[in-house]
């Protein structure tokens, strides 16, 4: 019998998304949306384990790749679950998903209003009780090594330009969206070249809000 490797089971999943799986937080979820899904590197586990998986990307070639990946794993895979679409204008109904993934994509925002639009759309399609997972570039730990180029975007030491958040922004968005952090804000500094922050929050239910006095 051939022994399956971790890569067979999980693909090239982001290690911090894998951490959420290990913690059991994604058990019992059913509908997953990957924003800026690329070729589907974060979706192998979900496709292989009976989740209903959707994705959007603005690159048609990437959508072709993720559709091929899904078809190789799931019989009768529906290609319409993967669409060319911008994150700020998602082609899905309100509260359609249990899990929304935004991995290494929100920092491509053009400015603050574009970032806001993407966050609001992600939140719109997430159902109460669902989980929002994001990894995005931030200024945490490298603020003395970046140069502001305007509109909330910064030149990083690695030569790229990104829209950067800080911890205050993440905490303020979590509060204003009436979400709750499932983990503390965690940041990895990559050889002083860039800083990647993990943001995991749950969308409160009406019951949660009533208990906290928010409604």
What's the token pair of residue 213?
């006095």
Give CA–CA dist 149/162, Å, rounded: 9
pLDDT of res. 215: 53
pLDDT at residue number 115: 98
Tell me how far apart the alpha carbons of residues 154 and 146 are, in angstroms, rounded to a whole number.
6
Q: What is the pLDDT, as a whole number, of residue 85?
A: 98
Are 154 and 147 in contact by the 8 Å Cβ rule? The answer is: yes
For residues 98-135, one letter each, b for 16 or more C-beta atoms within 10 angstroms of the residue's C-beta and e for the rest, the string is: bbbbbbbbbbbbeeeebbebbbebbbebbbeebbbbbb
- Per-residue pLDDT reduced to its tens digit, 114-172: 999 999 999 999 999 999 999 999 999 999 999 999 999 999 999 999 999 999 999 99
Domain map of the chain by residue range?
6-212
The tokens for 106 are: 């929100």
Q: What is the DSSP letter of 2?
A: P
The pLDDT tens digits for 7-17 are 889 999 999 99
The pLDDT confidence band at residue 214, using thresholds 50, 70 and 90, is low
Mean pLDDT of 20-25: 96
Class of domain 6-212: alpha beta
Residue 108 in tokens: 């491509």
Q: What is the pLDDT of residue 114?
A: 98
Helical ranges in the chain per DSSP H:
6-10, 15-22, 44-48, 60-73, 112-125, 167-176, 206-212
Q: Are 163 and 107 in contact (CB under 8 A)?
A: yes
pLDDT digits (tens, 9 = 90+) for 161-213: 999 999 999 999 999 999 999 999 999 999 999 999 999 999 999 888 888 77
Report the b/e string of 44-73 with b at 16+ CB within 10 A: bbbbeeebbbbbbbeeeebbebbbebbeeb
């Amino acid at each position: 019998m051939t022994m399956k490797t971790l890569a067979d089971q999980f693909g090239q999943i982001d290690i911090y998304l894998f951490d959420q799986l290990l913690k059991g937080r994604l058990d019992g979820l059913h509908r997953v949306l990957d924003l800026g899904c690329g070729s589907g590197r974060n979706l192998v586990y979900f496709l292989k384990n009976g989740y209903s998986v959707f994705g959007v990307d603005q690159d048609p070639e990437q959508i072709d790749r993720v559709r091929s990946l899904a078809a190789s794993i799931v019989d009768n895979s529906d290609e319409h679950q993967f669409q060319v679409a911008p994150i700020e204008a998602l082609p899905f109904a309100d509260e359609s998903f249990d899990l929304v993934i935004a991995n290494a994509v929100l920092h491509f925002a053009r400015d603050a209003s574009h970032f806001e639009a993407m966050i609001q759309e992600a939140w719109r399609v997430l159902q109460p009780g669902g989980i929002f997972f994001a990894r995005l570039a931030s200024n945490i730990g490298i603020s003395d090594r970046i140069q502001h180029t305007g509109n909330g975007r910064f030149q990083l030491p690695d030569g790229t330009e990104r829209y950067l958040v800080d911890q205050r922004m993440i905490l303020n968005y979590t509060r204003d969206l009436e979400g709750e952090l499932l983990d503390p804000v965690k940041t990895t500094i990559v050889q002083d070249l860039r800083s990647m922050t993990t943001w995991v929050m749950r969308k409160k239910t009406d019951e949660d809000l009533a208990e906290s006095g928010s409604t």
